[in-house]
Structure 1
Amino acid sequence: MNEKTDPAFAPGMASSTEMVGAPCWVSLMARDLAASQEFYGSVLGWDFRRGKLGDGFSVALDDGAPVAGIGGLAGTLQVAVAWTPYFAVADADVAAARIRERSGTVAVGPLAFSLGRGALAADRDGAVFGIWEGALIPDWQSGHQDAPAWLLLRTRDAFDAAIFYGEVLDWAAERSGSCDVSYENEEVVLISNGHVLARLGSGARGAAPDPMARPRWDVHFPVSDVDATCRAARDGGGTVFGRWTTDADVDEAALADPDGALFTITGR
């Protein structure tokens, strides 16, 4: 793990109003920032530097490019240790009200930060996600060929979830910058400018004893060597829940860090 101490990362001029409803960032709420940096630095090869959200946050870098955020505030905010996607919204207060109106939960916020306003929430099935109003990280968009991460919602009913998120995040709305949705291979697909930003799949069970089967946003990180990454995760105190090859002949594996935060790695 290498934590840089040069000036904090500064996002560019792009705003959440320009890509409403699109995934704009992923972040880990950890119990111990230093321990999480050590694990993900050794497993995924990330470097870190302090972000502009305060001393309890850092930005993970892959070859100098921002990949994700890690905040050591899970205990302070009394939230689960988990990887969480954030979605761009034009108005965090409006989006938070929509979540509550549709039987979702707003656990934290909206809170004001130096770069914008955000909130941590959960949908009707308990999958945790965030909303963000404000400046966006430049060159971070899940869906581009070289994206730092991509998202899969494992949910009870993909169509029901698509209605919830569509109404909260203005998916398929007739407004500039909003995302479209389609149906492909029994999944709901979120699309912007021809790029697939996220997929929503059915079959998760809220009461399942296996955490892998519960509703959640599954964050996928690309790696060069899936087997080597799995070994590094085990050596670092993490868990490998399974490894498989997709129909497209891509290697993937489901992992958890030492605190139990689930994520998936996928071969480049």
Structure 2
Amino acid sequence: MNQDTPASGRPSTDKARKRNVLSTHSVFGAPCWVSLTSRDLKTTEDFYTAVLGWRWRGAKLGEHFRIALVDGVPVAGIAAVAAMWQMAVAWTPYFAVPDADVAVARARERGGTAAVGPLSFPPGRAALLADRDGATFGIWQGELVSNWEAWRRVAPTFIRLHTRNAFDAAIFYGEILDWASGTPGCCSVEYEGGEVVLRSRGDVVARIDSGAEEAAPDPSVRPHWQVHFAVSDVADCARAAEKHGGSVLQEDETELILRDPDGAQFTVTSRRIH
């Protein structure tokens, strides 16, 4: 497992846990966590503090791991293990599932691959997978990060899958994650404006589009999940990113695609348009 898991966001008291913590049995199929594999922890912390205003605390997995906080709410896991474990530098979304073993088996049956896990991370289990086109994603079974609604307010505004066939991808993920299954609490799936749109409890939590080419030479446009963070001022983010060793890959008034100093790509989106 390449990151700290959602379990790291548990409230500090048993009373708070009972009141606030939801499990993957009550919230499932939706994104519930994002994690970043990096090379240098100090550089990563400085960059995301400057660009997104994050604060930090330690994680139970050791000195190479940190938890990013917004208003005291855990929003992301950072692991400076890319070089040590020979892993790619990238952001990865995790989806809540009621049973990690079932989800992994479904992914394999449908042509996906399991890179890591399921592994036990008390009080839950996690696995790192890839879909049929190679886009990497994770699954998490167990307690979620603090209160899921609080995480949704301050965490990524949504995630987007850039893939070769949006409908085929929606079927793949839907069968693994029980999207549009009719089960209470499952995510709904709709087609809007040329994209497949995933909603959980009325909120847009993911989008799938067919923007990648079949044989694209540029790795940045191969099938992948892109994490979008909501910000108040995208221009300020661009200036901060360039000042702290990152770069702006694409820019407009409401959205930027940025690359951090280690090469991980992510998007910042104006909070006003979401």
Do 1:23 and 1:141's aligned partners in 2 also have CA atoms closer than 8 Å?
A: no
Query: In the alignment, which residue of structure 2 is the partner of 1:58?
Result: 66
> Are 2:10 and 1:10 aligned?
yes
Partner of 2:50: 42
Distance 1:214 1:179, change over 3 A: same
Q: Distance in 1 between matches of 2:149 and 2:208?
A: 17
Corresponding residue for residue 263 of structure 2:
260
Local SS of the residue matching 2:25: helix
* 1-structure distance, mates of 2:159, 2:238: 20
Q: How does 1:71-220 map to 2 (within 5 A)?
A: 71-140=79-148, 146-149=153-156, 150-205=158-213, 207-220=215-228
Aligned partner of residue 48 in structure 1, secondary structure: strand
Distance in 2 between residues matched to 1:114 and 1:217, nearest whole Å = 26
CA 1:139/1:44 → structure 2, altered by over 3 Å: closer, same or farther? same
Deviation of residue 125 (structure 1)? 1.1
Find the residue that maps to 2:83 and give its secondary structure.
Answer: helix
TM-score after normalising by structure 1: 0.88
Amino acid across the alignment from 2:187: C
Separation in 2, partners of 1:86, 1:122? 12
One of 243, 249, 264 as aligned partner of 1:241: 249
5+ long unaligned stretches in structure 1: 1-7, 246-250
In the superposition, the TM-score normalised over structure 2's length comes to 0.86
* RMSD of aligned residue pairs (Cα, Å): 2.0
The separation in 1 between residues aligned to 2:99 and 2:165, in whole angstroms, is 27
CA distance in 2 between partners of 1:72 and 1:113 (Å):
19
Structure number with higher helix proportion: 2
* C-alpha distance in 2 between matches for 1:115 and 1:102: 28
Counterpart contact for 2:227–2:266, Cα < 8 Å: yes
SS in 2 for 1:240: strand
Question: 1: distance between equivalents of 2:197 and 2:150?
Answer: 13
Q: For residues 49 and 259 of structure 1, what CA distance do their matches in structure 2 show?
A: 21
Alignment partners' CA distance in 2, 1:119 and 1:34: 27
CA contact (8 A) 1:53 1:114 kept: no
Give distance in 1, aligned partners of 2:124 and 2:241. Answer: 34
Runs of 4+ in 1 over 6 A off after TM superposition: none
